[in-house]
Structure 1
Amino acid sequence: MAIPLFRNKNRILFVGLFIAVLAVAVAAVISFLGAEMGAVIIAGLLGTAVVLYSLVNYVFGFYAALTLGFFIFYLGRLAGQAFPSGYVVDILVWASFLGMLINKTIRRESLYASTGHLITYAYLVYTIFIIAQVFNPNMASVEGWFFVLRKFIQFVIIYFIALNVFSDMRKVIFFITYWVVLAVVAGVYGCYQEWFGFFDFELDWVWSVPGRAGLYFLDNGLFRKFSILSDPAAYGIVMATSAVVLFVLMSMARNRKLKLLYLVINIFVVLGVAYSGTRTAYFVIAAGIALYILMTLTNRNTLIFACFFFLGFAFILYGPIYGNNTINRIRSTFEFSDDASLKVRDENRKFIQPYIYRNPLGGGLATSGIAGLEYNPGHQLAGFPPDSGFVKTAVETGWVGFFLQCLLYFIILQAGVHAFYSARNRFLKMTLLAAVACIFAFVIAQYGQDAIGQVPGCFLFYSFLALVARAKHLDK
C-alpha cells in the first residue's frame, strides 16, 4: 500500500525539489560562513522546526525531548564546547506542553479529564510546598529557589504530558519499546567504550574540567564509562532501571522468541551498568528484582527466574573470579563494612542531622552542594555534599519536606501495587509490574544518588507514574 504522501506525483516532485533546494542552501551556508558557523545555523533552523512541530503535535515533541535527552550530552562532547543541553530539552518539554494545551483547547477537551488521581493530587500538594519555600528565612537567593522550582515543574509537566500520551495500551507499549531501543543504544555504546576505549573528543571532555577525571577514574586504573549520557552515575542509574524493566518483561513474556530477545538486549544493558562503576546502580537492580519477586511469588515463571537470578548473584559475589576489576567493583557494593565511600556518606549524614532537627523547613532550595556555592555562597550548607536525594531533600526542605517526599513515594508505590493487583488486562498487568519495580528501584537509588530528576531518567520515572495513574482507564 502506497504511503499517502507519495500517492500524488506532484507531491513527489515537490518533496524532491524541497530536498534539492535544502541541499543547495546548506552547501551555500557552509561555503560562505564556514563549517562551524554553518553547522550552528543549520542546527538552529532544525531545532526551530522541531519546536514548532511540537506545538502542532505534542506527542512528537514528547518523544523528541526524550530522544534528545539521551543524545544531547554526546552532541555536546562532539561539539567540543559548552553546550546548553538542559535548556534544549527544557524548551522541547515546554513546547510539547503548550502544544497539548492548544490541542485540548481546539478539541474543547478538559485538561483535567485524565488527571484525576491520588498521585496527581499528591504532586500538586508537594508543588505548593516547593513554591512556599520562597518564604524560607534561611534562604538568601530567590534565583536559586527559582532554578530548583523550574526543574521540578518541568518534571510535573512530563507527568501531565505522559498522562495524555498514554490514551490506550498501544501507546504504552510503544513508549516502553522506544525506551528499550534507546537504552540498548546507550548500553551498546558503553560496552564499546569499555572494549575499545574512548574517542579523543571524549577524553578531551573528561580532562577539560579540573576534578572531573578524578571522579571518573577508579582505583584499579580504569575509567568509569558514561556512554552517551551526562556522567557515569546517570548512565548507571538509567541502565539499572532499564534492566529491571527488561528482567520483568523477559520473565512475564510467554513467547520464547520474545524472551530470548529480551535476554540478549538486556545483556548489553546490564554490562552497561557494570561498566559505569556506579555502586548504587548495582544495588538498584537487586532491589527492583526483589520487589518483582515478592509481588509475583506464586507465579511459576517467577520462581524459575528467582532461582536463576539468585544463583547468578551468588556466583558473582562468591565465585572463584579474582582478577576481574568489574566484578570486584560489584562485590564491593555488598561489602558494607569495607566500603570507604559509604562510611564517608554515613559520617556526613550524622554530621548534618542536628541541623535538620533544628530547621524543620530546611536551609532552603539550592543551598547545599555546588548549587549552594553558586546561589547561596555564604550559607552554612554551601558546599556540603548531600550525596543522596533523600539527604538533599532533608537539608534543603527540612524534616517536614523529607516527610512529605517519603509520603509521596509511599502513595505512588501503594497506588502502583493496587493497580497491578486490580488490573485484568494481561499486557497492562505486565507493564504495571515493570513500572512498579522500576519506580521502586528509582526510590531506592535516591538513598545513594540524586537519581530522580536526571535526564533522561526523569522521562522513565514520571512516565511510569502516569501509567499507574492511567491504569484504570487502560484496563479494557
Structure 2
Amino acid sequence: MEKNLFNRTKGALTDTLRYHLVTKKLNTPLGFAILGLVAMLMSYVTVVVDVKLSVLIVGLLGVLLLCGLCIVYPLFGFYAAYITTLFMMLPARLSNSALPIPTGLIPEYLAYLAMLGVLTKQQFRSEMNARFWKNAIMVWMLVLVFYYIIQLANPSGRSILGWFNFFRKQVSFVAFFYISYCLLNSRKAIKQFTWFWVGLSTFNALFACQQQWFGFARYEEIWLMADEKRYALFVNFGFIRRFGLLSDPAAAGILYSCSCVMVLVLALRSTKTWEKVLYWILTAIHFMASSYTGTRTGTMMIVAGMVFYVVLNLYEKKTLIFSGVFAVMIIGLLVAPIYNNMIINRLRSTFEGSKDPSAMARDLNRAIVQPYAYTHPIGGGLNSSGNMGQLYHPGHPMSMIPPDSGFMQTMMEQGPIGLALLLIFYYALMRTGIKSYYRLRDPELKTLLVCHFVSIFTLMVAQYSQLAVGQYPSVLYFYSVLALLVKMPQYDENAYQPQIAEKN
C-alpha cells in the first residue's frame, strides 16, 4: 500500500512538473515562484560565495539552453552555426592569449545538435529520399570520406590525433550538407537563406571597412602586435591588411570576394529598382572590403566568377553588354595612371603572375613537393603539411613546406590519388550545378541558383592559391549551396525533366 501511494505521488509530481516546465514553459504562478527562487539563489551565490561561480552557473545554463534550442528548433541551430563563426576570434583577441582557444569546435557541435533535431522530426526526415543518396555530389562526398578512413593506415603518417582532427572536421561538413538539404526545403527557405547570407557577409564586410576608415580598436592593435610573425603577415611594405572579424586577411578576402560576386549577380538580374540599387551598394561595400584585405586571390575570384557567369549566360544580350563594361573596368584598373595608392597597386599585382615574389615562392615550393608526391601516391598523411604538420607530425618532410594552396595541400597530404578524387568531386559539383541551372524555367529560382553557384565556383578557383574551402564561415556556405544545387529543380513546376522529354 505504501508502495502504491509512493508511485501515485511520484506520478502526480512528474505530471505537475511536466505541465509547468514543458507545457506552460514556466508561464504559471508556480513557474514565476521557481524563477524568483533561482534569482535569489544566484544573488546569494554572487555575494556570499564567489562571483566567478555565479558567472559559471549562468554560462552553463546558457549553454544548456542553446543546446536545447538547437535540438528543438534545428533551423535555429543551422543559423547559429553560421553566426558563431564570425565571433570565434574575439575571445583570443580580447584576452590576447598566447595559447589557441578551441572556438572552432563550437560550429561543429551546433551542427551536430541541429542534425539531431532534424533526425527527431518526421517533416525533415522525409526529405531523405533516393534523390539525396543517388546524386553525384553525395556519392563522391562519401567516397572522399572513405578515402580519409583509409588514410588512417598511411605509413607516412605519424599522428593519429592529426588524422582524427582532419577527419572530424570533414564529417562535420558532410553533416552540415545533410542538415542543409533537409532544412532548405522550400522556395521560402531558400530565399531566407540567401538574405541571411547577404546580411551576414555584409556585416563582416562593413566591419573590415570601418577598420580601414577609422583604424583598429585598441584590443585589435594589441593582438596584432603581440606576435612578430603575425605582424609580418598582416603588414606588407606599410600596407596594413584588414581582416574584419575573421582569423586573417586571406580568409576575410575570400569571404568578401565570393559574396561580392554573389550580390553582383543579384544586381544584374534583379527586376525591381530598389533591389538593384541595394545590391549595387552591397557590391561596392564587398569590393572595398576585399581590397582592404590585400588578398590578391580575392581579385582573381571576382574576375573568374564574372567570366563564369558570362559563359553561363552568353545567350542574354544584357550579359554580353555587361561583359564588355566589365572588361573595360579591368583594363582601366591595370593602366590607370595611379601609382601611389597601395590598395590599387595590390590589386594590380594579382595579374603580374610569376613576377610577383610570393608567386615565385609558391612555384618553388611546388617544385620541391613534386618528387615526394610522385613516390607517395597517398601522400604524407592528413594534417602533415605546414603549421599543422609541425604540430602533429614534427620532423615530417612536408611539415617544413607551407602548402599555400588547397590543391597543393591535398597533393602533399593525400597524394595524387587524393587530388584526383577531389577534382572528380569538383567535376560532379560543376556538372550538377550546370544541369540544374539549365533545367530551371522559373526566373526567380534561376537567379537564386546562379548567384550561389557562381559564388562557390570562385571558392574552387581560390583553391589554386589559398586554402579557401575549409575556412569558416565560407566552408559552411559552400556545403549549404551544394544542397541547393541538388534540390532547386524540385521547386520549379515547369523545370525541364529529361525523362518526360525522352518519352515525348
Question: 1:317–1:89: structure 2 CA closer, same or farther, 3 Å change rule?
Answer: same
* Residue 59 (1) aligns with residue 79 (2): no
The separation in 2 between residues aligned to 1:100 and 1:228, in whole angstroms, is 30
Partner in structure 2 of residue 392 of structure 1 = 409
Picking from 334, 339, 358, the partner of 1:341 is 358
Q: CA shift at 1:322, angstroms?
A: 1.7
- State the TM-score, normalized to the length of structure 1: 0.92
* Residue 247 (1) aligns with residue 264 (2): yes
The separation in 2 between residues aligned to 1:244 and 1:344, in whole angstroms, is 29
Question: 1:202–1:37: structure 2 CA closer, same or farther, 3 Å change rule?
Answer: farther
The separation in 2 between residues aligned to 1:101 and 1:349, in whole angstroms, is 44
Partner in structure 1 of residue 310 of structure 2 = 293
Where do 5+ consecutive residues of structure 2 fail to align? 1-23, 494-504
| Stretch of structure 1 that moved more, 37-46 or 387-396 | 37-46
Picking from 432, 439, 453, the partner of 1:415 is 432
Picking from 143, 146, 160, the partner of 1:125 is 143
Question: 1:108–1:284: structure 2 CA closer, same or farther, 3 Å change rule?
Answer: closer
Picking from 48, 66, 76, the partner of 2:64 is 48
On the 8 A contact 1:59/1:96 being kept in 2, the answer is yes
* Residue 471 (1) aligns with residue 459 (2): no
On the 8 A contact 2:124/2:182 being kept in 1, the answer is no
SS of 2:464 mapped into structure 1: coil
Partner in structure 2 of residue 311 of structure 1 = 328
Question: 1:372–1:257: structure 2 CA closer, same or farther, 3 Å change rule?
Answer: same
The separation in 2 between residues aligned to 1:78 and 1:202, in whole angstroms, is 8
Picking from 454, 460, 468, the partner of 1:443 is 460
Alignment of 1:10-409 (within 5 A): 39=55, 41-81=57-97, 82-104=100-122, 109=126, 111-112=128-129, 115-116=132-133, 117-219=135-237, 221-409=238-426
On the 8 A contact 2:382/2:414 being kept in 1, the answer is yes
- Identity score, percent: 33
Structure number with greater Rg is 2
Q: CA shift at 1:231, angstroms?
A: 1.1
Q: CA shift at 1:365, angstroms?
A: 0.7
The separation in 2 between residues aligned to 1:228 and 1:31, in whole angstroms, is 36
Partner in structure 1 of residue 446 of structure 2 = 429
Q: CA shift at 1:319, angstroms?
A: 1.1
Q: CA shift at 1:335, angstroms?
A: 1.2
On the 8 A contact 1:252/1:301 being kept in 2, the answer is no
The separation in 2 between residues aligned to 1:259 and 1:15, in whole angstroms, is 50
On the 8 A contact 2:118/2:124 being kept in 1, the answer is no
The separation in 1 between residues aligned to 2:43 and 2:303, in whole angstroms, is 53
User: Structure 1, residues 426-450: CA drift from partner, whole Å, max 9, x if none?
Assistant: 2211111112211210111001111
Where do 5+ consecutive residues of structure 1 fail to align? 1-7
Q: CA shift at 1:475, angstroms?
A: 2.2
Question: 1:304–1:380: structure 2 CA closer, same or farther, 3 Å change rule?
Answer: same
Question: 1:31–1:344: structure 2 CA closer, same or farther, 3 Å change rule?
Answer: farther
Question: 1:235–1:26: structure 2 CA closer, same or farther, 3 Å change rule?
Answer: farther
Q: CA shift at 1:222, angstroms?
A: 2.8
Question: 1:133–1:75: structure 2 CA closer, same or farther, 3 Å change rule?
Answer: same
Question: 1:357–1:433: structure 2 CA closer, same or farther, 3 Å change rule?
Answer: same
Partner in structure 2 of residue 4 of structure 1 = none
Q: CA shift at 1:469, angstroms?
A: 1.2
The separation in 2 between residues aligned to 1:260 and 1:110, in whole angstroms, is 37
Q: CA shift at 1:91, angstroms?
A: 1.2
On the 8 A contact 1:413/1:439 being kept in 2, the answer is no
Which residue identity lines up with residue 409 of structure 2 in the other structure? K
On the 8 A contact 1:155/1:453 being kept in 2, the answer is no
The separation in 2 between residues aligned to 1:260 and 1:21, in whole angstroms, is 54
Question: 1:30–1:321: structure 2 CA closer, same or farther, 3 Å change rule?
Answer: farther
The separation in 2 between residues aligned to 1:260 and 1:232, in whole angstroms, is 28
- State the TM-score, normalized to the length of structure 2: 0.87
The separation in 1 between residues aligned to 2:446 and 2:432, in whole angstroms, is 13
The separation in 1 between residues aligned to 2:41 and 2:209, in whole angstroms, is 39
